[in-house]
Amino acid sequence: MGLIWRFFLLAQDFDLFGNPFDFAPRRAGRPEHEPTEENIINIMVLLASGMTNREVAKTLGISVPTLRKHYLHLTRNRDVLLSRLRTKLRTAQIQQGLAGNAAALSASLRMLDSVSAERVSRDLQGKAANQPAARGYVSKKDQRLESAQAIGGKYAVPAAPRLVASNGQAVAVDDGE
């Protein structure tokens, strides 16, 4: 009698195959996607590398609406993700270097040198872009003439015809070349 009683006590928690039995009401359809830390990191890397939402969703095996629903905060900040990812990697590299990894320490020092070089070059490019070209005053007529001469391809100004003298000798024409 005790064996049968134990079976019925266990039957409340497990089915006949030993699987846990859940009395919670089941919802129809597939369970909702749950974002994981691994997926968030993968999406950050893929978006920072320049992939589209469709390509990222296909890579992870989810649909584009699911990507937008659960990872909207990442897709909205696509332009900031590359700098965030670089920051995380640089921080991890410096932490490894401080922990005693000599290769990581030397790589982080090289990285810091390259960061300062990038900043200097960016500042120089910004200053050069802000300075106007040293042309002086150019009238509207001259601007239109220059833009018309710059047109190439099908709508380019045709070359002048070669002039031939009546005696059969070609006349020298300067083409401006």
pLDDT digits (tens, 9 = 90+) for 36-64: 999 998 998 898 888 999 999 999 999 99
**Helix pair 78-98, 37-48: axis angle to 10 deg:** 110
According to DSSP, residue 20 is labeled B
Look at residue 170 in the predicted model and tell me its pLDDT: 60
Look at residue 38 in the predicted model and tell me its pLDDT: 92
**Helix pair 102-130, 78-98: axis angle to 10 deg:** 140
Look at residue 64 in the predicted model and tell me its pLDDT: 94
Look at residue 69 in the predicted model and tell me its pLDDT: 93
Q: 21-42: per-residue pLDDT in tens?
A: 767 777 788 888 999 999 998 9
Residues of the chain with pLDDT below 70 are 1-12, 22, 128-135, 164-177
Q: What are the CB-based long-range contacts (under 8 Å, 24+) for 76-84?
A: 78/47, 78/48, 81/44, 81/47, 81/48, 82/48, 84/44, 84/48
